[in-house]
Structure 1
Amino acid sequence: MSTAQSMQNQELEYVEQTALVLLGMGEDAAAKVLRHFSRDETQRVTRAMAKLSGIKSEKAKNVIQKFFEDFRQHSGIRGASKDYLSNTLRKALGNDLAKGLLNDLYGDEIRNNMQRLQWVDSEILARFIANEHPQMQAIFLAYLPPESSSAVLKNLPQDYHDELLFRIARIQDIDHQVAGDLNELIERCIEQISVTQSAPLSGVKQVADIINRFDGDRASLMEMLRLHDEDVVNEIEQNMFDFMVLGRQSEDTMDRLVQQIPMELWAAALKGAEITLQQAIKRSMPQRMIKTLEDEMQVRGAIPRSRVESARQEIMQTVRELNEMNEIDLQLYQEPTVE
């Protein structure tokens, strides 16, 4: 490859070059390749695929040409089937040595297949394996990534969590027959999920989130929606109890909330919040309290996103309770007024 071509390819990161090659493969071929990527790799590559644009045909040609040059250098004879490989190794090495090697090979295959299940909801996976033999459940959990395995375990009956964990702890390896059974279980799981699972989406919650972030006349929009269906609008309003609505409350409401909600909750909840929202909340605080809040936020440093969300939910639960007791007048959107 010429120096000029090399410089052109270097303009694209490796993940972008991968995205370009996958886009050139077509949907079916690209899908087969993505199955072998980890969750992180899949996310990085698909983001790159979505953002990739304005690539000149010459640059695309150079990237794809380099891919095929690398392929020719590294590809050899195509992989043997399981039966062929098993029989050949047994004849060459004997049963004992062949068994160990086959188990290593099948273990890698199982781990690759299990990568495909890390996107599936843990509750669905737990329901799918609930009727399997405990040993098969243990092996299934052993090959899942730890975070997925832990979530699935949580959704299985609690009274034999200890038994499953003990079985997992005792697993050293699995023979090729069990590996075959596990691969069959994985394929059945994927097939069933592909047929029965639909993407969960709450339309009402989505509309509430859109309106909460809408910069236009929310009141007029809600009134127009009310003409369609009063009950639907009531559902939308129930879902509009979002932390960001605090940025458009009256001075009296915010004064009451500042008095009611502990400083440590504000310090956690305001991490990463928009500046305009932080300013709106601080306006109801005396200078001494603002200084305390800022010091508390600085001392805490970076905190987990889950802790931030938990603090915001706790604050909004207090907001909801005070609103229901008529101790505050919460405005989900600015209603029109008349003189």
Structure 2
Amino acid sequence: MNTAQSKPNQTLNHVEQTALVLLGMGEDAAAKVLQHFSREETQRVTRAMAQLSGIQSDSARGVIQHFFEDFRLHSGIRGASKEYLSNTLRKALGNDLAKGLLNNLYGDEIRNNMQRLQWVESDVLARFIACEHPQMQAIFLAYLHAESSSAVLKHLPSDYHDELLYRIARLQDIDHQVMNDLNDLIERCIAQVSVVQSAPLSGVKQVADIINRFEGDRATLMEMLRLHDENVATEIEENMFDFMVLSRQREDTLDKLVQQIPTELWSVALKGAEIMLQQAIKRSMPQRMAKALEDDMELRGAVPLSRVESARAEIMQMVRALSEAGDIELVLYEEATVE
């Protein structure tokens, strides 16, 4: 009988315990596992599998139970630890193959963490990494989405943009310790941003938008706001030059606007606008011009929102210029009248 026969559980070496677990898996499962072993490891394990005999059921059960307890200890819901994965893969694949796989695994983890930074303003990220070593900055930018990375780079000192880009271009393999340092940097950034970053909000612009869409007495609202602060009320009025305000203009004002503003610009700006506004503009146009506007809007089909907003902004600049020049009398809100 060979030395492996009748060995108690505690005297089986690691190779023999591995062989015992593989024998318990069955042929198909064991074959899939062996595909991931190196040639030397496969020879050692299969030799041990061939030599094992006379193992008592209690001993076999003890080895298999120890295997699963060890797996449960190191995995859990977050997956196996880096140390466990590193040791396991190096034993299974050898150092060279394991290194590539570990880099991929850790790289995916870093990229997933980077996704959490996509909503952070680029200037905030730039300030956060400004004191880091240039190499760490380069690695940080390399894992960040290209669009975000470019925006962050813009806020970093321009005199070493070229150095950072050169460092990024030279990146290939990144040491596991550097990966850990980068992950720590990301976590610290997220922790700090969640504490100090506030959501941008323009209160004056919000009030202007509310009043522009308010169906009640806008004039009274503005008078009440003036009682609070004349300067704030004036600032609100300036922000009320919203495209939507055109639907409240008198016919003579709209007549002048449709004469001054090209039909092509109207056809883009009116995309997605409220029906009331579209009808007001068309009523001020000659029938043939209104028909041409409708045909142009239909032919254009879907238009990018950025183009629509740009066209509306261009029109409102022209409207404001005409108003300041006294060519039109712009009504921001309907005031009460008396006979």
Provide the residue aligned with 2:289 in structure 1.
Answer: 289
Q: Aligned equivalents of 1:145 and 1:227: distance in 2?
A: 49
One-letter amino acid of the structure 2 residue matched with residue 338 of structure 1? V
SS in 1 for 2:338: coil
Provide the residue aligned with 2:236 in structure 1.
Answer: 236
Q: Aligned equivalents of 1:303 and 1:166: distance in 2?
A: 39
Deviations 1:75-105 (A, max 9, x none): 9742222233334433444432222121111
RMSD of aligned C-alpha atoms?
Answer: 2.3
Provide the residue aligned with 1:20 in structure 2.
Answer: none
Provide the residue aligned with 2:184 in structure 1.
Answer: 184
Q: Higher Cα Rg: structure 1 or 2?
A: 2
8 A contact 1:99–1:175 mirrored in 2: no
Q: Aligned equivalents of 1:128 and 1:209: distance in 2?
A: 35
Q: Aligned equivalents of 2:298 and 2:195: distance in 1?
A: 50
Number of residue pairs aligned between Structure 1 and Structure 2: 265
8 A contact 1:222–1:233 mirrored in 2: yes
8 A contact 1:138–1:167 mirrored in 2: yes
1:161, distance to aligned residue in structure 2 (A)? 5.0
Q: 1:262 to 1:156 in 2, by over 3 A?
A: farther
* Greater displacement, 135-144 / 271-280: 135-144
Q: 1:291 to 1:338 in 2, by over 3 A?
A: same
Provide the residue aligned with 2:107 in structure 1.
Answer: 107
Q: Aligned equivalents of 1:303 and 1:133: distance in 2?
A: 45
Deviations 1:180-224 (A, max 9, x none): 121122112112212221111111111111111111111112122
Q: Aligned equivalents of 1:272 and 1:301: distance in 2?
A: 11
| Structure 1 residues 121-140: aligned runs within 5 Å | 121-140=121-140
2:201 is the counterpart of 1:201? yes
Q: Aligned equivalents of 1:160 and 1:251: distance in 2?
A: 58
| Structure 1 residues 258-297: aligned runs within 5 Å | 258-297=258-297
* Greater displacement, 250-259 / 234-243: 250-259
Q: 1:120 to 1:98 in 2, by over 3 A?
A: same
Q: Aligned equivalents of 1:161 and 1:195: distance in 2?
A: 29
1:154, distance to aligned residue in structure 2 (A)? 4.1
Q: Aligned equivalents of 2:92 and 2:220: distance in 1?
A: 79
Provide the residue aligned with 2:85 in structure 1.
Answer: 85
Q: 1:185 to 1:276 in 2, by over 3 A?
A: same
Provide the residue aligned with 1:25 in structure 2.
Answer: none
2:244 is the counterpart of 1:248? no
SS in 2 for 1:333: coil
| Structure 1 residues 143-222: aligned runs within 5 Å | 143-157=143-157, 164-165=164-165, 167-222=167-222
Q: 1:194 to 1:319 in 2, by over 3 A?
A: same
Q: Give percent identity, aligned residues only.
A: 80
Q: Which runs of 5+ in 2 are unaligned?
A: 1-70
Q: Aligned equivalents of 2:166 and 2:295: distance in 1?
A: 47
SS in 2 for 1:326: coil
1:293, distance to aligned residue in structure 2 (A)? 1.5
One-letter amino acid of the structure 2 residue matched with residue 314 of structure 1? E
Q: Aligned equivalents of 1:216 and 1:229: distance in 2?
A: 21
One-letter amino acid of the structure 1 residue matched with residue 225 of structure 2? L
* Greater displacement, 134-143 / 251-260: 134-143
| Structure 1 residues 296-335: aligned runs within 5 Å | 296-335=296-335
1:170, distance to aligned residue in structure 2 (A)? 4.5
Scaled by the length of structure 2, the TM-score of the pair is 0.71
1:147, distance to aligned residue in structure 2 (A)? 3.6
Q: Aligned equivalents of 1:164 and 1:293: distance in 2?
A: 51
8 A contact 1:134–1:164 mirrored in 2: yes
Deviations 1:7-53 (A, max 9, x none): xxxxxxxxxxxxxxxxxxxxxxxxxxxxxxxxxxxxxxxxxxxxxxx
Q: Aligned equivalents of 1:157 and 1:260: distance in 2?
A: 46
SS in 2 for 1:174: coil
8 A contact 1:249–1:331 mirrored in 2: yes
